[in-house]
Structure 1
Amino acid sequence: MDLYVVRHAIAEERRPDLVDASRALTKSGRKRFARCVAGLERLELRFDRVLHSPWRRAAQTAELMTSLGRAIEPHEALAAPPSRGLLEVLGEAGETVAVVGHEPWLSELIAWLVVGEPADGDARFRMKKGGVAQLRGTPRPGRMQLRALLPPKLFLE
């Protein structure tokens, strides 16, 4: 399996009057991530599924990926620390799958899949907003290899 781990694009800043799950992408965040998607299109990537956190900014990021995926759908497990349930879903999701979510949970997921244990907030694999990591292998602890960690800046130049 090829798993692409995508951090949501640049979103509104946190505010006391705004629920975190409701924060939307900024205009700049949309524009920058659209360029990232264009870069992924140039690599001829196509996803069997794009799973995303139900939080607004992750859903909006996934929507920008419609040209890359056959099925785009929310999954509650991507709005929480990584779990065995998420690994089961990934194991049945297809050969080429993208997940869109949030830090620090994405870094923890990558560490768990590559090293065999979650990083517990220790960002071994720091994900920039709009960044993409490619993993290959079986979605089980310690059974995947990190193939690429692509910062969004790579697609903007």
Structure 2
Amino acid sequence: MELLLVRHAIALPAEGEGEEADDARPLSPKGVKRFRKVVRGLRALGVELDYLLTSPKRRALETAEMLSDLLQGESRVTPHLALPPSPALLEEIPKEGRVALVGHEPYLSGLLAWLLLGDFLGESARGDLGERFPLKKGGVAWLEGEVRPGGMCLRALFPPKVFRL
């Protein structure tokens, strides 16, 4: 199976303070424009998605909506993509086809490190290892293999700039 980890596109600053204000942040016009180029680039690479899972935060939902142009199957929201990587998230990911997850940093980088390197350093090291695989806003990590800690390999790590060149 193939898994694409997608960091949400550039969002506007939060209006107000607190978690609710952060959760409600929409994409900026610049973020929309740039992420459309990411979608075009993925299409040019022949990417079609069987499943799309997204964080419930507005900026991730809006990013996923643009990715839905590549979607051949179902889409759903999971709160696990707005939290540190966990076994509960792994259980939600379909085990076949091509799946995209739209979420946030530092959680996606931690998930990436966990799927590539496994549990050999324990749960507390996931975030630290994730720093070695930074995903810029609108960036995409493309993996393949089995959805389990240490079960996947990295096919590509695309900063969004790659698709703008």
Q: Which residue of 2 aligns with 1:138?
A: 146
Aligned Cα RMSD in Å? 1.4
Q: Which residue of 1 aligns with 2:83?
A: 80
- Equivalences for 1:65-104 in 2 at 5 Å? 65-69=67-71, 70-90=73-93, 92=94, 94-104=96-106
Could you tell me how far 1:94 is from its partner in structure 2?
3.2
- Deviation string 1:64-91 (CA, Å, 9 cap, x unpaired) is 011111222211110100110111111x
- Deviation string 1:90-118 (CA, Å, 9 cap, x unpaired) is 1x353100000000000000000001135
Instruction: Look up the SS of the partner of 2:67 in the other structure.
Output: coil
Q: Is the 8 A contact 2:14 2:24 kept in 1?
A: no
**Could you list the runs of 5+ residues in structure 2 that have no partner in the other structure?**
120-124
Q: Which residue of 2 aligns with 1:2?
A: 2
**Could you list the runs of 5+ residues in structure 1 that have no partner in the other structure?**
none
- Tell me the distance in 2 between the aligned counterparts of 1:25 and 1:40: 20
- Deviation string 1:19-55 (CA, Å, 9 cap, x unpaired) is 1111110011001000110011111111111100000
Q: Is the 8 A contact 1:134 1:147 kept in 2?
A: yes
Identity of aligned residues (%): 47
Residue 25 of structure 1, aligned match among 24, 27, 30: 27
TM-score (norm 2): 0.89
- Tell me the distance in 2 between the aligned counterparts of 1:144 and 1:93: 12
TM-score (norm 1): 0.94
- Tell me the distance in 2 between the aligned counterparts of 1:58 and 1:9: 8
- Tell me the distance in 2 between the aligned counterparts of 1:74 and 1:94: 18
Could you tell me how far 1:119 is from its partner in structure 2?
2.4
- Tell me the distance in 2 between the aligned counterparts of 1:71 and 1:62: 12
Which protein has the bigger helix share?
Answer: 2
**4+ runs of 1 displaced by more than 4 Å?**
none
Matched, 1:119 2:126: yes
Q: Which residue of 2 aligns with 1:108?
A: 110
Using the TM superposition, name which of 15-24 and 147-156 deviates more.
15-24
Q: Is the 8 A contact 1:49 1:93 kept in 2?
A: no
Matched, 1:152 2:160: yes
Aligned length, in residue pairs: 156
